[in-house]
């Protein structure tokens, strides 16, 4: 029972117990840390929201690479896969972009590590992200060779800005 009440015991450098936090205290501290992080990132969050609002006025797609060049990027399909995953369509999410599961795992693990356990694992997450990116680039090359330009999400966008400029 004692182990369930405490999420983790922190030890000082001398080996003494510095504090035992209940799960409720740890979550409250994590929520305060989350609020602090959001406050520090407010301009980035505002810029991202402004980008989405502006880009949606000119194109139905959020991806800047796809909107401007018409060529899908390595992440094309991730947003749609995430939406399918949130709606419970696991098979549809996998077919849209199989790396959605790696992205979701890293995001969930990062959130738990930062706000629940409150332990920094920067080196581990760096290598997980590198592995994910390398895998996504390899998969992108495969999809471009096999599926481009006929199979969703690897289709050419003919209303892209670059296509319109070059066509004139």
Q: Are residues 90 and 134 in the same domain?
A: yes
- 64-80 average pLDDT score: 88
Q: Are residues 102 and 138 in the same domain?
A: yes
Q: Are residues 130 and 87 in the same domain?
A: yes
Q: Are residues 68 and 79 in the same domain?
A: no
pLDDT at residue 133, as a whole number: 95
Query: Greater confidence, 24 or 78?
Result: 78
pLDDT at residue 155, as a whole number: 86
Distance CA 164, CA 168 (A): 7
pLDDT tens across 111-157, in order? 888 888 888 778 888 999 999 999 999 999 999 999 888 888 888 88
pLDDT tens across 4-46, in order? 344 444 444 444 444 567 878 888 888 898 899 899 999 999 9
Distance CA 131, CA 115 (A): 24
Distance CA 26, CA 5 (A): 11
- 59-75 average pLDDT score: 86
Q: Are residues 83 and 115 in the same domain?
A: yes
The boundaries of the domain holding residue 134 are 74-147
Cβ-count burial 89-124 (b if 16+ within 10 Å, e if not): eeeebeebbebbebbeeeeeebeebbbeebeeeeee
Q: Are residues 112 and 125 in the same domain?
A: yes
Q: Are residues 100 and 160 in the same domain?
A: no
Q: Are residues 59 and 15 in the same domain?
A: no
| pLDDT at 1 exceeding the cut of 50 | no
Q: Are residues 59 and 81 in the same domain?
A: no
- Domains held by the chain: number: 3
pLDDT at residue 159, as a whole number: 85
- 60-77 average pLDDT score: 86
Q: Are residues 88 and 123 in the same domain?
A: yes
Nearest Cα neighbor of 9 from 82, 117, 158, 154 is 117
Tell me how crowded residue 74 is: count the other CB atoms within 10 A of its CB: 19
Distance CA 70, CA 141 (A): 16
User: Tokens at residue 62, please?
Assistant: 């959020």
Q: Are residues 103 and 137 in the same domain?
A: yes
Q: How far is CA 164 from CA 7, 51, 65, in A?
A: 57, 21, 15
Q: Are residues 84 and 52 in the same domain?
A: no
Q: What is the dihedral of CA 80, 83, 58, 74, to 10 degrees?
A: -30
Residue 76 sits at φ, ψ, to 5 deg, of -60, 125
């Amino acid at each position: 029972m004692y182990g369930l009440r405490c999420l983790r015991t922190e030890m000082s450098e001398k080996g003494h117990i510095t504090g035992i936090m209940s799960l409720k205290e740890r979550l409250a501290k994590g929520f305060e840390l989350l609020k602090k992080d959001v406050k520090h990132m407010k301009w980035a969050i505002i810029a991202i929201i402004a980008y989405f609002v502006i880009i949606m006025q000119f194109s139905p797609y959020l991806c800047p690479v796809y909107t401007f060049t018409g060529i899908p990027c390595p992440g094309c399909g991730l947003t749609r896969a995430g939406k399918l995953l949130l709606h419970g369509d696991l098979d549809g999410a996998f077919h849209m972009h199989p790396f959605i599961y790696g992205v979701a795992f890293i995001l969930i693990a990062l959130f738990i590590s930062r706000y629940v356990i409150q332990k920094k694992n920067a080196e581990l997450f760096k290598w997980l992200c590198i592995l994910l990116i390398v895998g996504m680039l390899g998969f992108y090359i495969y999809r471009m060779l096999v599926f481009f330009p006929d199979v969703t999400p690897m289709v050419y966008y003919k209303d892209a800005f670059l296509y319109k400029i070059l066509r004139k």
